[in-house]
Amino acid sequence: MVKSQIPTYFSAFEEVPEEFKNILFERALPYHRKHDPPSDTIVLCFHGFSAVPFEIKIIADAIFNAGMDVGATLQPFHGYKEVEDQKRYWPRMTKDIMFNAAKLEISKARQQYKNVFMYGQSMGGAITLSMASLGLVDAVASTAPAIRIAPFSRVLAILLAPFNINQAKKDPDKFDTDHYRFNNSRAAKELLKIANFAQQNLENIDVPVFVCHSHNDDTIDGPVTVGWMQEKIKDFKVSWFDTSQHVIPLDVDRDKAAKEIADFFASKR
C-alpha cells in the first residue's frame, strides 16, 4: 500500500526517491537526458491519459538524437503499478493539478534553458497546447492531441463521474507498454475539462505548432481537431499517419512521426 503522502507528480528534473520507485512501473520513471555540454534547448515530453513516459520514448529519443535535451515527466497520479494504488490515486486527477504540474515543469526548465519546447501525446498534447495558449513555451508538437474526444466517451464520462466508475479497456494489450488497464470516470471528466480548455484557447497560440494525426484515430476526431487548429493557429503544420490509429508513438508510423517531430523542433532552435 502506498503512503498517504505522495508527490503530486514526478518531475523530469528530480530523482524519484527510493521509497517511491518500487510503487511505480519501471518504465514510468521520469528522466532528464542532457548532452555534454547541455543544449540551449529542451523539449518537455508529456505522455497520454493512463500512460507513462515509455509511451513516448521513441519521440524523446529522436529529439535527443537531433541535438536537443529532453525531459519526460510522469504526470500526476499516473504510473502506479499496483491496481489498488491506481484506483486510489487516479480519481484525484484534476485539470488544475495537471496544469500546475506542467507549469512547474516549464518553470524548472526555464531556469536552465534558452528555448523551452513541449511535446505531448493525446492528453499530453492537450496540455501542451494549453501551455502554448498561456504563452509559456516557445514551440509545440503533438501526436493526436485530445481536444475533440469521441461523443460517446464524452457523455459517458460526464454521466458516470459522480459514481467513480472503473471500466476495463477493450484492448489493453495492444502495445508493449505500461499503463492502467481500465478507464476511470472521474479522471475522464477532468480530461474533458483539459480538452475543452485547449480547444477554447487555440486562437491564443502564437508559437509554431506541429501535429501528427490519423484519419483512422478511433479516440480523437482527427479531421475536426486539425480543422480547428488550421483555422485558429497562424503557424500550424500537420502530417497524417493513416496506417496508425490513436497512439502513434507506439504504432506502425512511430519512426516516421518521431523523425518529423524532431526535425520540426530542430528547425525552431
Say if strands 139-143 and 209-213 run parallel, antiparallel, or are unpaired: parallel
Question: What is the share, in percent, of the chain residues with pLDDT greater than 70?
Answer: 97
Model pTM score? 0.95
Please give the pLDDT value at position 163. 86
List Cβ neighbours of 123 (8 Å cut-off, separation of 6 or more): 46, 47, 48, 49, 75, 98, 146, 191, 194
Query: pLDDT digit string (tens) for 8-67?
Result: 899 999 999 998 999 999 999 999 999 999 999 999 999 999 999 999 999 999 999 999
Please give the pLDDT value at position 152. 60
Q: Is the pLDDT of residue 4 over 60?
A: no
Residue 178: name the closest of 23, 9, 28, 11 by CA.
Answer: 28
DSSP-based three-state secondary structure for 54:
helix
Neighbours of 19 (CB within 10 A): 10
Residue that wins the pLDDT comparison between 7 and 60: 60
Question: What is the share, in percent, of the chain residues with pLDDT greater than 90?
Answer: 88
Q: What is the mean pLDDT of the chain?
A: 94
Cβ(233)–Cβ(226) below 8 Å: no
List Cβ neighbours of 192 (8 Å cut-off, separation of 6 or more): 149, 154, 157, 158
Going by pLDDT thresholds of 50, 70 and 90, the confidence category of residue 150 is: confident
Q: CA-CA distance, 252 to 49, in Å (whole number)?
A: 20
The whole-number average pLDDT for the span 205-223 is 96
Task: Tell me the H-state helices in 15-160.
Answer: 18-21, 57-65, 83-89, 95-110, 123-133, 151-160
Please give the pLDDT value at position 160. 79
The length of the chain is 269
Please give the pLDDT value at position 1. 42
Cβ(75)–Cβ(53) below 8 Å: no
What values do phi and psi take at 202, rounded to 5?
-60, -35
C-alpha cell, 208: 509554431
Query: pLDDT digit string (tens) for 151-194?
Result: 667 767 777 778 899 999 988 999 999 999 999 999 999 999 99
Min mean pLDDT across 111-120, 215-224, 238-247 is at 215-224
Please give the pLDDT value at position 151. 67
The whole-number average pLDDT for the span 132-145 is 98
DSSP-based three-state secondary structure for 140:
strand
Q: CA-CA distance, 150 to 6, in Å (whole number)?
A: 33
Say if strands 69-73 and 31-33 run parallel, antiparallel, or are unpaired: antiparallel
Please give the pLDDT value at position 226. 97
Going by pLDDT thresholds of 50, 70 and 90, the confidence category of residue 2 is: very low
Q: Mind listing the domains of the chain with CATH numbers?
A: 18-267 (3.40.50.1820)
